[in-house]
Structure 1
Amino acid sequence: MISKIFKRYLIFCGIVVNLAFLYSVYSFSHTLISGQSVPGVFFKTASKLAGHSSTRSLADVLMKVGNTLDTPVYYWKPFDRKQWPSVGPDYDNTPVTGTEPKKRVYVADSKSLLKAIRYAKPGTTIVVADGEYEIQSKRFPTSNEVPSKYNPIVFKAEHPGKVKLLMTSLEGFYINRPYWTITGFKFIGQCSNQNSCEHALHVVGEAQHVQIVNNEFVDFNAAIKVNKNVGVYPDDGKVLYNYFYFTKPRDTRYSVTPINIDHANNWLVSHNIIRNFIKTGGNKISYGVFMKGGANNGVIENNLVVCNSTQHRYAGSSIGISAGGGGMEDRRGGVTYQTNQLIIRNNIVFHCSDVGIYLNAGKDTLVNNNTLYNTTGIDVRFSDSSAMIFNNIFSGHLRIRDDAKVIAKSGNLIYPRGFFTNKEQLNSVFLSPETGNFSIVDDKLDLTKKALPYPMRPNDSVVDFCGDTVHSKEKFVGAFQNRAGCFYPSN
């Protein structure tokens, strides 16, 4: 009896191993035909196998082979956000967020803080004194009162950057009313179990016109989560000049996406720094920012997205910016697309193990003037995806698959990776792209020659990544117009 069970076990193991091997051969050949480099194919195949315990050992072997062939590119010095003067929080010069009520409530301890946000009245500014605040609960409900444009509720640090909110909650501050502004804080997740610390801010339902400006978010799986509530949608929000990062990879089965916007229309995500969102648990797929769930008319612009600023390569897929993310069944209005008329422009995305920009059922998406480095390029996927792709500079390739459509593409500068070595050809174009200095040093490269006039909507006001005004007939490739860029050397 025991021998029969043992034989069946060996047969079962043999079937699993052979299936994994055949899948690896298929995946390898399919990916190679699509134009990726040989090391890139090993990494891609390993990432697919790494999510299953039965094939993880084979994934490790493929990763080792890929590393042997690969020409490594990584961020070889500590990340310094001072190098990036045009993005992230500016605690000395706080961005203007509109009307700030003169009526003020001052708080200086955790209990008073939670009470103030729970019972805040429209037309109130809640001012939090400098210091550290330990706040613990599953969630922190905010006021049920209904603010308005001219009587908002502003929740702010007395001195920007000097207030730390130390949180062990699952979903953080729960906002279900319009016209809240949150500014000047350092939200720090301190959960020992990384399946907790899901959100710092959960924006739902009636929370239209919410502004999240000039903050830091540390160690939250999806620091900002936006979604519908009982058929009501939190439209017209803004996420501006924030800094999102993780101190170590996230070993969690839940989504790792610092800015996660579902269902909501007209959101603006601009001038943020998003980095080190590596997911080592679950499916090992992570995103810097995405919109999905039938969202319309969003804008993702002028952000710095660094998937990995360490010197370590991790299994799995880190993706910079996405329309649609990994997909979502629950979509606003029962539509088939994930996003509609999303604009992705003037972003710098680099050091991602997968694509820099991924369109998953993104209808009529405009992707223009982005700079992507050390990613596998741009991926347009599924029949509901239709894209206009203009004036981008990136390495890797533009992939159009699973019946997706590219309506127009022009003005792009695409540099294939080295076929056998995965060598990054953009190294000769930029000053020090490994550490984020994208000043153009290739004297032969004309940023205007093949570029189309910058695509702009009527009455659109646009600045490039470096903060220079873009005019409607301006012609340039990449995220900024000035060849020197705006990159301060790290001290």
Structure 2
Amino acid sequence: MKKFLFQVFIALLGLGALGLLAAAVWLWTSDTGRQWRAQLGERSPNDALRHLQRRLQGHTRLEAVLLPALQAAQRRLEIEPPAGALPDLGKGQRSEPAPRPAGLVQTRRVDSPQAIREALMQATPGTDIVVAPGLYPFETKLRLGQDGTALAPIALRAERPGTVWFAFGQVEGVLVDKAHWRFENLDIRGVCPRHDDCEHAFHVVGRGHHVVIRNNRIRDFNAAIKVNGWDGDWPDHGLLAQNTLVNSGPRQTDKPVVMFDLVGASHWRIQDNHVAGFVKAHGNQVSYGLFAKGASEDARFERNLVVCTPSGISQPGVRVGISFGGGGTDPGACRSERCAAHEHRGGLAANNIVAHCNDVGLDANRAQDIQLLHNTLVNTAGIGARNGSGVRLRANLSDAGVWVRDGSRVDRQLDARLAEFFDPALARALQWRAQPATANAGIPAFADTDFHRIRRSEIAIAGALNSL
């Protein structure tokens, strides 16, 4: 925060002595100014800037004096990502197909939208629904007919990625309310003219437990993967792995924009995904890459690459990388006790790389027993704990701070600054070149493997990568 205030001070100098004097007098002598300074103390500099800008609205004279300084400080804090495409670092959909699931004993081949609908409704445990190469448009949601089992799941898949495309023009693509289904190797795109009308590629609800969504490319939805309870049932024990979740531009909606939106379900694994480009243009303009909330438990976010904004980091709105608690939950949607005890409990975020977010890369909101281990944050506002959260931090690497407020508790050990290990400019391009000397090498390992699934030795380094 001291660095932020210094940057604002330097920017004010550019306005001249009169502007600096007027702003300083107002901040330190007026009741409103004193309230602002008190509120800023527990906020990240990025959040403080937005807070100040909101409070200035309607104060014409103050806006004329302070807004140019705040905008200049924002340009120093939020560094524009490098031009061109960023690498996916081996995350998201791969060109090689996911291995054929075990327990599939019969194959049903389909080659038309109607054949796909019928197969989904008629499949029995152990059925492998294989879609022929081609483009398949849909205008109404796809439904499932029967449960699979642990030993005999039901699968809908392409034999090879990049050969089967689903174009969804409906609010929900696939309603997953049956257990033990798998969806693999598909390319799915929302094609609604109005963004309000393309909400979810997959809506996992109620009895849709033990779903596997793996090695798909999914783009242009408000909340690509939505998970929540229904009629007292909760879709626990899901796996979201090796998927690419992206949007081609800001979502023109006031509905929630969250690439993975989990409410109330427990024991989910979210691993090795590439998540990028989630900007909410309307409403509260707050969006998230991945979150778990709604009195859920034991979500594990591991080895994901999350890039809030590949370009335009300071465009309107707020982008958060990974969150336990999100923005809070309507009490009626909570799993238990109207979320009175927690939004999330027992969650883990380990070995993730989160980049180019104008708010925190990792967030805990009314979340308890949260572990944040060996994550690397690049060009974000750091790590936030709010509303009474309890968080354990170990060996994270970041170019920003840790922001603790509202009575939250943080146990922090062996975190390090990004610049101690990597050239910051190259890190912003997601390219890693070690600095000549490292200040914090040789610490205990808190996660067995790293971002690339390379096994760590007992002595490791901070951040998601195992070696320099």
Aligned equivalents of 1:177, 1:117: Cα separation in 2: 11
Could you give the per-residue CA deviations for residues 76-127 of structure 1, whole angstroms, max 9, x where no partner exists?
A: 22225xx3343111122x3336415131111111111122112222110111
Could you give the per-residue CA deviations for residues 325-378 of structure 1, whole angstroms, max 9, x where no partner exists?
A: 001123222252011110011000011010011100111000010000111111
Structure 2 counterpart of 1:29: 37
C-alpha contact (below 8 Å) 1:431/1:441 kept by paired residues: no
Structure 2 counterpart of 1:441: 434
C-alpha contact (below 8 Å) 2:365/2:385 kept by paired residues: yes
Aligned equivalents of 1:326, 1:340: Cα separation in 2: 15
Query: When the two structures are aligned, how many residues end up with a matched partner?
Result: 433
Structure 1 counterpart of 2:48: 41
Matched, 1:310 2:311: yes
Secondary structure of the equivalent of 2:152?
Answer: coil
Structure 1 counterpart of 2:373: 368
TM-score, L = length of structure 1: 0.82
Matched, 1:142 2:144: yes
Structure 1 counterpart of 2:180: 179
Aligned equivalents of 2:267, 2:61: Cα separation in 1: 44
Matched, 1:478 2:468: no
Specify the code of the residue in structure 1 equivalent to 2:144. T
Gaps of 5+ in 1: 1-21, 416-424, 457-461, 484-491
Matched, 1:277 2:278: yes
Aligned equivalents of 2:387, 2:155: Cα separation in 1: 41
C-alpha contact (below 8 Å) 1:42/1:63 kept by paired residues: no
Structure 1 counterpart of 2:454: 468
Structure 2 counterpart of 1:118: 121
Could you give the per-residue CA deviations for residues 115-141 of structure 1, whole angstroms, max 9, x where no partner exists?
A: 21122221101111111111001x221
Deviates more, 1:156-165 or 1:214-223: 156-165
Aligned-pair identity (%): 27
C-alpha contact (below 8 Å) 1:302/1:346 kept by paired residues: yes
Matched, 1:402 2:406: yes
Secondary structure of the equivalent of 2:70?
Answer: helix
* Aligned ranges 1:29-428 → 2 under 5 Å: 29-30=37-38, 32-34=40-42, 36-37=44-45, 41-46=48-53, 48=54, 65-69=69-73, 70-71=75-76, 73-80=79-86, 83-92=87-96, 94-96=97-99, 98-137=101-140, 139-143=141-145, 145-311=146-312, 313-328=314-329, 329=331, 330-334=333-337, 335=339, 336-383=341-388, 385-406=389-410, 408-414=411-417
Larger RCO (alpha carbons 8 Å, 6+ apart): 1
Give the CA RMSD over aligned residues: 2.7
Could you give the per-residue CA deviations for residues 187-211 of structure 1, whole angstroms, max 9, x where no partner exists?
A: 1001111111110001111111110
Specify the code of the residue in structure 2 equivalent to 1:127. V
Residues 338, 215 of structure 1: alpha-carbon distance in 2 compared, 3 angstrom cutoff: same
Aligned equivalents of 1:275, 1:23: Cα separation in 2: 42
Aligned equivalents of 1:396, 1:366: Cα separation in 2: 18
Residues 364, 68 of structure 1: alpha-carbon distance in 2 compared, 3 angstrom cutoff: same
Secondary structure of the equivalent of 2:119?
Answer: helix
**Deviation, structure 1 residue 426:** 7.3
Residues 49, 297 of structure 1: alpha-carbon distance in 2 compared, 3 angstrom cutoff: same
Residues 340, 106 of structure 1: alpha-carbon distance in 2 compared, 3 angstrom cutoff: same
C-alpha contact (below 8 Å) 1:372/1:395 kept by paired residues: yes
